[in-house]
Amino acid sequence: MSYHIEDTKLLTLETVWGIFWNGIRMDFSMSGYLSVIPFILVCISNFIKKSRLENWIFSYTFVAVFFITLIVVIDLQVFNTWGYRLDATPLYYLKSPKEAWASVSSSPLLQLFISFIILLIIASYIVYRIITRNIDNWNYIENIPFIPVSVICLLALIVPIRGSLGISPMNQSTVYFSTNNFANISAINAPWNFMSSIVNGTYDKVNPFTYLPKESLTETIKELYTTSNTTQKVLKNDLKKPNVIFIIWESFTKKATEKIINGQAVTPQFNALKSEGIYFSNIYASGDRTDKGLPAILSGYPAQSTTSIITEPNKSAKLPVLSKDFGDNAYSTAFYYGGETEFANIKSYLYEADFQRIISKQDFDPKDWNSKWGAQDGAVYKKFLQDHANINQPFFSTLLTLSSHEPFEVPIETKFAGEDVDAKFMNAMYYADQSLGNFIAEAKKQPWWNNTLIVIVADHGHRIPETGKKVDDFKIPMLWLGGALEKKGIEVSNVYSQIDLASTVLRQVNLNAYAYNWSKNIFDPKTKPWAFFAFNNGFGFVNQSKQLVYDNVGHKVIQQNGTITPKDQDYGKALMQRMFQDYLDK
């Protein structure tokens, strides 16, 4: 609460007291788990040499103190970056240590390290004093045989571990007590939450998001997916096989397109390009990370709340992918990225997608590796243009940017003054926008421009700049450009999702989209305008007049805009339930 003082200052004294009063139950639970091994050792202490017992107790205690303190400190920054408490998610990225380091290197590492050392010293001193003062008394308690008493104490740990003597065991919702979501998640014990995520984070066949009975679930989903099986064409009718380019812009939040700093727009190039194509002003990302955004865009597959399908090749291999559909129809296909595709298991997904060429960090000159992630956007766009100078048409090519990812290192002079993370993010976004503008200007000179559709879309949104509304963090821009467009200078203001892109594009180029059953055709006159997004243990549902954000731990709507009815909640719950079940069934 001290680390996130700006959020804490908004709480009343009563709410602050409630955090400690409700949260202590989970603290007791974690303490109970940590006490099991020492209690077992105490139970058999009469049969262990005194010096050996002391060494075991000390060693266990200080190892526990080290890792518990480490978890607590990491949790501070995880919430600052992702908006939820530490769980098993960061473990997915340890397979790619360089990229993981690049992702966290913009964090206040010195401040966190000092906090870790101070907490470690204090905790170590306290437990040292407790153990050294009491270890000599572990023989008998007032003439009662020690072993039976210690066994009873060991068995009694079940009470704090479970949180009560009732039927329901300890879980996150046990400590939830307020309508303020920050207060609720502050009451959670970080080590307990992390350990629980590791133990319970792999779901076999049990859907943790079961809200509705099967009959009403099917009917509710059916209401959301209506279609006429027709489409309004926005591409030129005489183009049988137009080229298609996807530019997936890292962390491209719509908030950045609306941001003005000292009279200077953050994304002036993108803003100017809106009038040259079709601008979709109400699009929402399906998830909050790149490994969720890629399947959402290329497979029309919704993001999972507590995991990511791309990290499980046996499941992601079963997804439809646009590159396969285009490749099966005589398109050449390519994927461009300036970083390591091994990160978050993206590489396996791309290979399963049958991209004929996959361009990554190793394909660029090391002098262009001027970011911790790899080659900057300018270098990637340049190579893309070089490779496509004499390419056979038609082609389907995807380019994933990286310059606007943490730690926001860009090869230009600072445009917006400041050393805080907000200023760095805006500078990175300005460079990414500049690189895009240069690319589009050069693309217009290419022989393939008149036959090409270019789709610019984000992989996910971003929390910066903060608005206090989670919905805003998932709102992203999307823009269609290129000479293949029949209609230009149009704004589509209806609410749609990132996952709707796959079906929409396929229908525009006269390809079958039936395999993309989660993806709606935006240009079908009967398609209903709505979007759904998932975040850690929760979801959001948005339509033209309403927005709701639902927390699955507390089982409540934590943010809303408009009058939310039980039916609106059922729409979101039905999507969450069916989508996660579909993931489990893969």
Does residue 250 have a known ligand-binding role?
Answer: yes
Spatial distance between the Cα atoms of 574 and 578, rounded to a whole number of angstroms:
6
Does residue 460 have a known ligand-binding role?
Answer: yes
Q: What is the DSSP string of 197-234?
A: HHHH---SS--S---S-HHHHHHHHHHH----S-----
Whether 424 contacts 417, CB under 8 Å: no
Whether 523 contacts 584, CB under 8 Å: no
- Closest by CA to 492, choosing from 280, 275, 283, 274, is 280
Spatial distance between the Cα atoms of 374 and 384, rounded to a whole number of angstroms:
16
Q: How is residue 500 written in tokens?
A: 């709707």
Rounded to a whole number of angstroms, the CA Rg of the chain reads 27
Is 290 among the residues known to form the active site?
yes
- Closest by CA to 451, choosing from 293, 274, 290, 236, is 236
- Closest by CA to 176, choosing from 559, 569, 553, 469, is 553
Q: How is residue 339 written in tokens?
A: 């970083």
Does residue 69 have a known ligand-binding role?
Answer: no
Spatial distance between the Cα atoms of 505 and 511, rounded to a whole number of angstroms:
9
**Which DSSP symbol is given to 93?**
G
Spatial distance between the Cα atoms of 180 and 74, rounded to a whole number of angstroms:
23
268-275, long-range: CB < 8 A, 24+ apart: 268/433, 268/437, 269/433, 269/434, 269/436, 269/437, 269/440, 270/433, 270/436, 270/437, 270/456, 270/477, 270/479, 272/437, 273/437, 273/440, 273/479, 273/481, 274/479, 274/491, 275/488, 275/489
Q: How is residue 389 written in tokens?
A: 């100078």
6, 8, 10, 14 alpha-carbon torsion, rounded to 10°: -170
332: β partners? 395
Q: How is residue 135 written in tokens?
A: 């270890």
260: β partners? 265
Residue with tokens 């992630």: 373
Q: How far is CA 30 from CA 77, 78, 151, 255, 427, in A?
A: 21, 20, 19, 40, 42
Residue type, position 307, single letter:
T
Spatial distance between the Cα atoms of 155 and 107, rounded to a whole number of angstroms:
43
Q: How is residue 585 written in tokens?
A: 């069934």
Q: Over the range 305-323, which residues count as b (16 or more CB within 10 Å of their CB) and which as e?
A: bbbbbbbbeebbeebbbbb
List 290, 341, 401, 527, catalytic entry: 290
Spatial distance between the Cα atoms of 8 and 15, rounded to a whole number of angstroms:
10
Binding-site positions for Mn(2+): 250, 290, 459-460
Please enumerate, by residue number, every residue annotated as part of a binding site: 250, 290, 405, 459-460
Would you please indicate which residues are annotated as catalytic (active-site) residues?
290
Binding residues for substrate, as ranges, are 405
